[in-house]
Amino acid sequence: MARYGMVIDTKRCVGCADCVVACKTENNVPDGYCRDWIVEDVRGNYPELHMEIRSERCNHCENAPCVRCCPTGASYTDEDYGVVLVDHDLCTGCKACIASCPYDARYVHPEGYVDKCTFCMHRVREGLQPACVEVCPTKCMHFGDLDDPHSEVSKLIRSRPNHALIPEAGTKPKIYYLL
Amino acid sequence: MQELTITSGRHMHHIDPHLTIWGWEIPVYLFLGGLVAGILFFSAVYFLRGKSDEMRTTVRVAPLFVPFLLATGLFALFLDLEYKIHLFRFYTVIRLQSPMSWGSWTLGIIFPLSTLWALMHAESVFPNWRYPYKWMEQAMNFVKKYAKILAWLLIYYAAILGIYTGILLSAFNARPIWNTAILGPLFLVSGFSTALAFNMILSKTKEERHKLGKIDLMAIGTELFLIIHMFMGFLASTEIHVEAAQLFLGGPYTAPFWIFVVGVGLLIPALIEVLDGMHKVKSTLVPAFLVLFGGLMLRFIIVDAGQFSSWIF
Ligand code: SF4
Ligand code: SF4
């Protein structure tokens, strides 16, 4: 099994939200919901401030609580790409997975099933990049196999300081933010 | 100073600014689950101890309500499902890592078992009870022959059901206020306490009510101990858990929790029951109703607070 993940360069991201719009268009995300979003994180004491702009989404965690708690197996980790997906046909809309996600990355689709970022698997399987990665005007997002030491994502993680989100929640997130 | 500003995209229904995915249905379901677990547990225990006549309400009458209470709880759960026609999916797979899967299978087993248990006792509660078909009578005779085994099964499954109502929530690491192993035993004991109160309301004899009141006092004491223990655990834990505890120690849940759950639902009924035991106040059903109210409030407040507490702050 490959282990697909993302690396996002916070030094390049300008928070234009093109990725958000691209995702909504590509995946027909209903009004009032989103699969990715922009966070502007400001820390420090004025005037010594550090600002990080992040494009966030489901982290496709390796130790995914949403997969573990799902009573029907609707939430599962894809065997070929190591991506966390929801089988709409199996989903009861019990919302356990929503409660279990420390990143609040899931929502109930108006049709009743739970939905979230899929890393655009329908595109990836065709050899394309996820829509958000493709559209980013600053080219700050990178997508690839974290298990392949020669992949762009692996090289970036090795060469630049980075962090993942809420690692202390123990979910082993697979999106890395370059500092 | 830290400032976190969400600039675009995140205004999701029932997710932002904090979860509101579970409304009244889940607390009602958890309350009824705990109540049913308690009713079945005490019924089976006193049955095995040969006290079916002495504790008639506990052993024979209260279980008659169980199928209806369970059906109501399950209906509430059904109403909560967003994809209702997929309800059957719960029963197409057993997922050992999922507390909800455990719960649905436990309910799937306890429902028929408790219905048989209720039917068995209906015969002695209603002397004119007759089955429309012979095979039903034969089936019930078979059940009666193995009543002891059924009682043991009910004790076992009632304990699982009672603990499950807490574990369902405590398994969510993502919601710090739920993420404590105390929630299982707390909901179990609270469920037992509400069942004792329910039996007290139904009971016709002073002796039985008195006995139930005494056990309830122990249950209330245990609950208070577990609540203190739960907060001590939070305060000795990580920053995120300390913050979660603060929701109840000065934060928005402080007044409802300490007034309605601890005060009205535990301390006042305990005090009345103690005074009643000392013959200082007239024996009434007030403490029983307060315990039921407190049990329901506990579920409502914990379910709500859990959705309010998160890792993202
Ligand atoms: S980010 Fe949330 S939804 Fe995505 S895999 Fe992790 S726990 Fe599951
Ligand atoms: S809402 Fe659907 S995907 Fe989520 S835990 Fe329930 S059945 Fe699984």
Mutating which of A20, A95, A103 best tests the B interface, going by the most B Cβ atoms within 10 A? Answer: A95
Min mean pLDDT across A23-27, B63-67, B282-286, B290-294 is at B282-286
* CA quadruple A63, A64, A65, A71: dihedral sign: negative
Closest CA to B80 of A101, A170, A79, A96: A96
Percent of all residues in chain B with a pLDDT value above 90, rounded to a whole number: 89
Residue A175 pairs with which residues in a beta bridge?
Answer: A6
Q: What are the pLDDT digits (tens) for B182-231? A: 999 999 999 999 999 999 999 999 999 999 999 999 999 999 999 999 99
Question: Residue B313 pLDDT > 90, yes or no?
Answer: no
How many A/B residue pairs have CB atoms within 8 Å?
Answer: 161
Rounded distance from Cα B221 to ligand 1 centre (Å): 40
Q: Could you confirm whether domain A4-178 is CATH 3.30.70.20? A: yes
CB B33 within 8 A of CB B80: no
Mean predicted confidence (pLDDT) in B222-241: 96
Question: Residue B8 pLDDT > 70, yes or no?
Answer: no
State the pLDDT at residue B311: 87
Can you tell me the distance from the alpha carbon of B158 to that of B46, in angstroms, rounded to the nearest whole number? 14
Mutating which of B89, B107, B307, B308 best tests the A interface, going by the most A Cβ atoms within 10 A? Answer: B89
CB A178 within 8 A of CB A9: yes
Q: What is the value of ipTM here, to two decimals?
A: 0.93
Q: Is the CB of A116 under 6 A from ligand 1?
A: yes
Domain boundaries, chain A: 4-178
**B130 Cβ neighbours under 8 A, 6+ residues apart:** none
Can you tell me the distance from the alpha carbon of B217 to that of A143, in angstroms, rounded to the nearest whole number? 60
Residue found by looking up tokens 């139930």 in the block? B212
Can you tell me the distance from the alpha carbon of B93 to that of B96, in angstroms, rounded to the nearest whole number? 10
Can you tell me the distance from the alpha carbon of A90 to that of A77, in angstroms, rounded to the nearest whole number? 14
CB A96 within 8 A of CB B80: no
**pLDDT < 70 positions in chain A:** none
DSSP helix/strand/coil, B172 = coil
State the pLDDT at residue B156: 97
Q: For residue B256, name the pLDDT band (cuts at 50, 70, 90).
A: very high
Q: For residue B1, name the pLDDT band (cuts at 50, 70, 90).
A: low
Q: Whose CA is nearest to atom 6 of ligand 2?
A: A94
Closest CA to B240 of B306, B313, B181: B313
Can you tell me the distance from the alpha carbon of B254 to that of A139, in angstroms, rounded to the nearest whole number? 48
Min mean pLDDT across A18-22, B64-68, B124-128, B169-173 is at B124-128
Q: How far is A157 from chain B (nearest CA, A)?
A: 24
State the pLDDT at residue A47: 83
Q: For residue B63, name the pLDDT band (cuts at 50, 70, 90).
A: very high
Q: Is the CB of A101 under 6 A from ligand 1?
A: yes
State the pLDDT at residue B9: 60
Pairwise CB contact (< 8 Å): A93 & B90: no
**B2 Cβ neighbours under 8 A, 6+ residues apart:** A42, A43, A44
Pairwise CB contact (< 8 Å): B13 & A32: yes
Can you tell me the distance from the alpha carbon of A152 to that of A135, in angstroms, rounded to the nearest whole number? 18
Closest CA to A113 of A63, A77, A70, A82: A70
pTM of the model: 0.94
Mean predicted confidence (pLDDT) in B144-168: 96
State the pLDDT at residue B209: 94
Mean predicted confidence (pLDDT) in B256-260: 98
Question: Residue B108 pLDDT > 60, yes or no?
Answer: yes
Question: Residue B132 pLDDT > 80, yes or no?
Answer: yes
Looking at domain B25-308, its CATH class is mainly alpha
Question: Residue B312 pLDDT > 80, yes or no?
Answer: no
What is the secondary structure of B249-301 as a DSSP string? TTSTTHHIIIIIIIIIIIIHHHHHHHHHHTT-S---SHHHHHHHHHHHHHHHH
Question: Residue B90 pLDDT > 80, yes or no?
Answer: yes
State the pLDDT at residue B285: 93
Q: For residue B11, name the pLDDT band (cuts at 50, 70, 90).
A: confident
Decide: residue B200, CB within 10 A, 0-12 exposed, 13-18 middle, 19+ buried: buried
Question: Residue B78 pLDDT > 80, yes or no?
Answer: yes
Chain B residues touching A13 at Cβ < 8 A = none
Question: Residue B38 pLDDT > 70, yes or no?
Answer: yes
